[in-house]
Amino acid sequence: MVDAWQPAVDAAEAAADGGGSTEEVLAAAARAARAGAESTVPLVATKGRASYLGERSAGHQDPGATSTAILLEAARDAATGTGASE
């Protein structure tokens, strides 16, 4: 989950520091979280349930990072009044 949360926090802080609106801050966080989640695909899990799979975990997106991205996308959509993801 840190793979999604850390870039989301960094992006949100940068957007807020740049004077971004709430919607812009949430959009930046959602984009960064999605990119972070997607970056987990080639990784071999060493923590959590996926670690039991060892090398077989590579090639699969981390579910915790993915759920983080979905959560932030939902927050963005609620703030902007949209129902569609970017």
Please state, in angstroms and as integers, the Cα–Cα distance from residue 44 to each residue in 20, 40, 48, 84, following that order: 36, 8, 11, 31
DSSP alpha helices (H): ranges in the chain? Answer: 2-17, 22-38, 63-80
pTM for this structure? 0.85
pLDDT digits (tens, 9 = 90+) for 31-84: 999 999 999 999 898 888 888 888 888 988 999 999 999 999 999 999 988 875
Domain ranges of the chain: 2-80
Provide the pLDDT for residue 53: 84
Q: Supply the pLDDT for residue 84.
A: 58
